[in-house]
Amino acid sequence: MVKRSYRTDKITVHWNSELCIHTAACLNALPQVFNVGEKPWIAIENAGADEIAHAVEKCPTGALTYERTDGAPDEEAPSQTTVIPWPNGPLMVRGNIAVRDARGNLFTAGPRFTLCRCGASQNQPFCDLSHRRIGFRNNPQVVSASRETAQSPQDISPTTGP
Ligand code: SF4
């Protein structure tokens, strides 16, 4: 696992490789900052703090997070929790999310996570793209549905599968 931080005097961006599944959402949102063809791959000086924060919030996995160091507000978790099934892939969850282990202990918390749905991830409960390796296919009716719960915060904890 690699954890790196990139700083200006206005914002610090954190990247956690363990959660990154290379969706390219950050690259598409702000290619002058997020560019895997360059080293370092995050050129934080190439955009303003607001633009960077906006791009980071597009990362569906929570691999990217930020802290504002200029007095601007940090990312605010949505007041409602949204769970969207990615076709033949993971569940994309946004909200004020606490991920807990089977005993109810807090594992991690954040506003964005991408959770394993195929059961094959080696990085449970998070997606590691194993759904592609095993050829996971979901019920097409499930894909068209998105579910919003009434309120955040929400706890996510494991249960025994079928
Ligand atoms: S948006 Fe997040 S998960 Fe996707 S490539 Fe960027 S850091 Fe990785």
Ordered structural domains, the chain, with CATH: 3-68 (3.30.70.20), 82-156 (3.40.5.90)
| Residue 119: alpha-carbon gap to chain centroid | 18
Contact 59, 134 (CB under 8 A): no
Nearest CA to ligand 1 atom 3: 20
pLDDT for res 139: 81
pLDDT digits (tens, 9 = 90+) for 108-162: 999 999 999 999 999 999 999 999 999 999 887 765 555 656 566 777 777 766 5
Pocket residues: Cβ below 6 A from ligand 1: 20-26, 59, 61, 63-64
Nearest CA to ligand 1 atom 4: 23
Interatomic CA distance for residues 130 and 122, integer angstroms: 8
Contact 109, 152 (CB under 8 A): no
Place of tokens 């592609």: 132
Contact 80, 45 (CB under 8 A): no
Nearest of 8, 82, 118 to residue 52 by alpha carbon: 8
Alpha carbon of 32 to ligand 1 centroid (Å):
15
Query: What number does the ligand 1 atom closest to the CA of 24 have?
Result: 5
**What is the percent of the chain where pLDDT is above 70?**
91
**What is the percent of the chain where pLDDT is above 90?**
80
pTM over 0.85: yes
Interatomic CA distance for residues 66 and 78, integer angstroms: 16
How many Å is the Cα radius of gyration of the chain? Answer: 16
Alpha carbon of 25 to ligand 1 centroid (Å):
6
Interatomic CA distance for residues 89 and 129, integer angstroms: 8
